[in-house]
């Protein structure tokens, strides 16, 4: 009887998640991307095994159009489980303490997109958020999910996306955060939105522009290179660099990189 009671409670929780999720991604048509998806699947054959895997997600019918082979290597789980059972099964493996914050993050990103991003720019957007997820050994690992929209409904809501998942050790303590980036004319992502849905981060004082500069500094880009990618002057980049070090109370870019290793979702 106790076992049946737990099953009933779990079904109630998943039902609540489904209702909230559908509220975020509610759409009015069901577009097809068969040829696009087919080509992505073909590429999966050539990708090496690593700590990342990707899925093609469909928020219209709560399914996975495709799950890459690396899922098994990353999580120990058979990808057929996700292809057969869809997002409800995926949700059931997210850490219970992260469910509400995860939904808040998704809702905030959707609201930001519909309110602030012009229709013609939405296919240039990239969204990132994170949560803890139970692997095949029933141990929680950190997942950073980055999703790029592939298709939109008639109201220009993103409903089919290419999602990349990076799996990190659970020993790394991470705040639940969400960000939205736009691919600019220089083919560089610029942060337009960032928020924490856990307790406030020490790095909340960092602006979106400063986050982009930090990310490029970590990639060993010079001030001149950063200026070109972000369409600003080298002097402006140097000013931002000084402000970043001052805000974080650190002395050098090297120290900044070390700090990032301790706080991976700062960007």
CA dihedral angle for residue 237, residue 219, residue 102, residue 83, rounded to 10 degrees: 140
**pTM passes above 0.85:** no
Residue 56, domain extent: 2-199
- Whether residues 103 and 147 fall in one domain: yes
- Whether residues 136 and 50 fall in one domain: yes
Is the pLDDT confidence value at 9 over 80? no
Domain of 18: which CATH number?
A: 3.30.450.20
- Whether residues 26 and 104 fall in one domain: yes
User: Averaged over 240-264, what is the pLDDT?
Assistant: 72
Considering 140, 171, 199, which residue would you say is the last residue of a domain? Answer: 199
The answer to whether the beta carbons of residues 178 and 193 sit under 8 Å apart is yes
Considering 181, 199, 217, which residue would you say is the last residue of a domain? Answer: 199
Whose tokens are 């997109």? That residue is: 113
The string of pLDDT tens digits covering residues 117-145 is: 999 999 899 999 999 999 999 999 999 99
Neighbouring-strand partners of residue 179: 128, 194
The answer to whether the beta carbons of residues 224 and 238 sit under 8 Å apart is no
The string of pLDDT tens digits covering residues 48-65 is: 566 889 999 998 889 999
Burial of 44 per CB tally in 10 Å (0-12, 13-18, 19+): middle
């Amino acid at each position: 009887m106790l076992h049946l009671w737990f099953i009933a409670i779990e079904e109630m929780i998943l039902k609540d998640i489904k209702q909230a999720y559908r509220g975020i991604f509610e759409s009015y048509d069901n577009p097809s991307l068969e040829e696009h998806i087919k080509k992505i699947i073909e590429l999966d054959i050539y990708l090496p095994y690593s700590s990342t895997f990707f899925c093609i997600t469909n928020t219209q019918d709560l399914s996975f159009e495709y799950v890459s082979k690396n899922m098994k290597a990353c999580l120990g789980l058979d990808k057929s489980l996700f292809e057969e059972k869809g997002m409800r099964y995926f949700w059931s493996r997210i850490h219970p303490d992260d469910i509400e914050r995860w939904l808040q993050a998704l809702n905030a990103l959707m609201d930001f997109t519909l309110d602030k991003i012009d229709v013609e720019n939405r296919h240039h957007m990239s969204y990132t958020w994170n949560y803890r997820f139970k692997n095949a050994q029933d141990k929680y690992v950190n997942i950073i999910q980055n999703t790029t929209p592939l298709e939109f409904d008639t109201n220009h809501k993103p409903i089919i996306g290419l999602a990349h998942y990076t799996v990190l050790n659970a020993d790394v303590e991470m705040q639940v955060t969400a960000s939205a980036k736009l691919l600019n004319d220089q083919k560089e992502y610029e942060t337009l939105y960032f928020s924490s849905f856990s307790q406030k981060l020490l790095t909340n004082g960092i602006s979106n522009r400063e986050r982009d500069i930090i990310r490029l500094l970590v990639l060993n880009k010079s001030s001149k290179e950063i200026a070109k990618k972000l369409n600003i002057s080298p002097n402006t980049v140097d000013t931002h660099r000084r402000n970043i070090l001052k805000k974080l109370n650190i002395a050098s870019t090297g120290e900044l990189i070390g700090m990032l290793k301790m706080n991976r979702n700062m960007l």
